[in-house]
C-alpha cells in the first residue's frame, strides 16, 4: 500500500506545480486574461490576481499538507464556475471551428482538474492527506 501512497502523492505534487504555474501566469499576464472575465462581474482585472492567488494558495496547501480538504473543494467550485461562466459560453458562441475546439479543450481540462480536486478533497482526512501509520 505504501507504493500506491507514494504514487498518489507524486500526482498531487504535480497538480500543485501546475496550479502554482497557472497562478504565476495570472500575475505575470493579467491583461491577457481580462478577456475571459465575464462582463457581469465587477472588479475587472483584479479577478486575474484573485484567481492567481487562489491557485497559488491551493498549491501551497497541497505542498504543506494543510487545509487540503477545504482548498480542494474550493478549487472544485472555482473550476466549475470557470466552466459555466467562461468556457461553456465561449464554446456556444465561438465564431469558427478552431475557437470552438479550444473552448472544448478548456472545458475538458478544467473538468479533469476539478474531478482530481474532488478526489483529493474526498480522500483528505482532518484537512490533511491521508497518511499511513508508517509514513
Structural domain harbouring 92: 2-123
Sign of the Cα torsion 123, 4, 135, 76 reads negative
pLDDT digits (tens, 9 = 90+) for 4-32: 678 888 999 999 999 999 999 999 998 88
- Asked if the structure places residue 130 within a domain, the reply is no
How far apart, in whole angstroms, are the C-alpha atoms of residue 81 and residue 95? 23
Q: What is the pLDDT of residue 38?
A: 75
Residue with cell 505504501: 2
Tally the C-alpha atoms within 13 A of residue 77's C-alpha that lie toward its C-beta: 8
Mean pLDDT of the chain: 87
pTM of the model: 0.83
Number of domains present in the structure of the chain: 1
pLDDT digits (tens, 9 = 90+) for 45-80: 889 999 999 999 999 999 998 999 999 999 999 999
- Asked if the structure places residue 132 within a domain, the reply is no
Q: How far is CA 87 from CA 21, 80, 107, 108, 124, in A?
A: 20, 10, 6, 10, 29
Amino acid at each position: 500500500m505504501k507504493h500506491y501512497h507514494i504514487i498518489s502523492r507524486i500526482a498531487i505534487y504535480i497538480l500543485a506545480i501546475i496550479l502554482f504555474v497557472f497562478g504565476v501566469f495570472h500575475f505575470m499576464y493579467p491583461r491577457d486574461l481580462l478577456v475571459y472575465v465575464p462582463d457581469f462581474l465587477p472588479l475587472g482585472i483584479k479577478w486575474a490576481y484573485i484567481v492567481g492567488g487562489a491557485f497559488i494558495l491551493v498549491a501551497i496547501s497541497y505542498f504543506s499538507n494543510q487545509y487540503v480538504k477545504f482548498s480542494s473543494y474550493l478549487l472544485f467550485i472555482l473550476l466549475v464556475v470557470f466552466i459555466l461562466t467562461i468556457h461553456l459560453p465561449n464554446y456556444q458562441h465561438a465564431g469558427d471551428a478552431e475557437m470552438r475546439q479550444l473552448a472544448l479543450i478548456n472545458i475538458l481540462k478544467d473538468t479533469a482538474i476539478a474531478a482530481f480536486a474532488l478526489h483529493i478533497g474526498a480522500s483528505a482526512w482532518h484537512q490533511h492527506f491521508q497518511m499511513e501509520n508508517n509514513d
